[in-house]
């Protein structure tokens, strides 16, 4: 009887597994920022209830689960000034997620420094998320249930391969980028790809040489980034963001 009792006490249900932590990579790109990635790797991840997902954010991105709410505006107007919306810029929500409510990682004020964000998923379901900076085209999905996407190590290895493929696709697109001439007008496209998850942050691989009187037209064909064309005549470019306290 004693031996039978001991064996029964040590028995472990075959389907019970310790909670695991999975990694999703957000963004990336080349060192010189010619190619930046606006995608999550993997875009779809299956985990078990109780597991934690950690996003390694590389670039100016955030992770936001809306919980059925409308996405907050990226910018807000106040007192004649335009501000980066605090609902986007700063973290919101707790450390767990059950599919309800708004949770947000916030963004890094220094995109050159990667940061991480973790959520533990406590309820089975399918949960879509996005980067509020770059819109629905930079989105992902966490599926919580009985099935998983392999092991955390294999998922991370595959994510790095996907990230490298995105960089390579962007580099190839930039290398083959050629301005389109039409008489005395030349069109320079600013490009990106939702399929491969990249944006190109350079105008052309080589300087454009045009005759006097020619017109250069820049066309915005990037689904992720907002671009401007600025001639500074050697002066220091203006700051993109000016930190200042919000009016009360």
Instruction: Give the integer Cα–Cα distance in Å for 137 and 38.
Output: 8
d(CA 96, CA 153): 22
Q: What is the DSSP code (8-state) at residue 166? A: H
Contacts of 54 (CB under 8 A, 6+ apart): 21, 22, 23, 24, 116, 117, 118
Q: What is the pLDDT of residues 36-80, one digit of tens each?
A: 999 999 999 999 999 999 999 999 999 999 999 999 999 998 878
Residue with tokens 């509020």: 132
Q: Which of 4-13, 121-130, 184-193 has the lowest mean pLDDT?
A: 4-13
* pLDDT value of residue 83: 85
Q: Which is more confident, 237 or 242?
A: 237
Spell out the residues 6+ positions from residue 93 whose beta carbon is closer than 8 angstroms to its own: 65, 101, 102, 103, 104
Q: Can you state the percent helix, strand and coil of the chain, rounding each to 5?
A: 15, 35, 50
pLDDT in tens, 28-39: 999 999 999 999
Residue 82 is predicted with a pLDDT of: 83
Residue 15 reports pLDDT greater than 80: no
User: What is the arithmetic mean of pLDDT over 227-237?
Assistant: 91
Contact 134, 222 (CB under 8 A): no
Which band of pLDDT confidence, cut at 50, 70 and 90, is reported for residue 109?
A: confident
Whether cis (ω within 30° of 0) applies to the bond prior to 208 is no
Mean pLDDT over all residues of the chain?
90
Structure confidence by residue, pLDDT tens digits, 176-218: 999 999 999 999 999 999 999 999 999 999 999 999 999 999 9
| Better-scored residue on pLDDT, 109 or 121 | 121
21 phi-psi bin (left φ>0, alpha ψ -120 to 50, beta other): beta
- pTM over 0.85? The answer is yes
């Amino acid at each position: 009887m004693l031996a039978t009792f001991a064996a029964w006490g040590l028995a472990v249900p075959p389907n019970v597994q310790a909670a695991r932590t999975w990694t999703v990579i957000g963004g990336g790109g080349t060192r010189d920022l010619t190619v930046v990635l606006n995608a999550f790797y993997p875009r779809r991840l299956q985990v078990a209830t109780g597991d934690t997902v950690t996003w390694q954010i590389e670039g100016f991105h955030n992770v936001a689960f809306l919980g059925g709410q409308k996405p907050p505006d990226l910018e807000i107007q106040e007192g004649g000034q335009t501000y980066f919306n605090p609902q986007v810029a700063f973290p919101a929500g707790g450390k767990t997620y059950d599919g309800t409510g708004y949770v947000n990682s916030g963004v890094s004020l220094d995109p050159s420094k990667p940061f991480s964000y973790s959520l533990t998923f406590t309820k089975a379901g399918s949960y879509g998320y996005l980067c509020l900076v770059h819109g629905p085209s930079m989105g992902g999905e966490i599926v919580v249930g009985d099935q998983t996407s392999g092991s955390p190590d294999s998922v991370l290895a595959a994510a790095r391969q996907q990230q490298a493929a995105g960089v390579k696709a962007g580099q190839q697109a930039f290398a083959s980028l050629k301005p389109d001439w039409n008489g005395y007008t030349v069109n320079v496209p600013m490009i990106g790809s939702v399929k491969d998850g990249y944006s190109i942050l350079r105008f052309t691989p080589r300087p454009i040489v045009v005759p006097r009187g020619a017109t250069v037209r820049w066309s915005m064909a990037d689904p992720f980034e907002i671009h401007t064309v600025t001639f500074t005549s050697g002066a220091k470019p203006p700051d993109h963001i000016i930190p200042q306290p919000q009016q009360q």
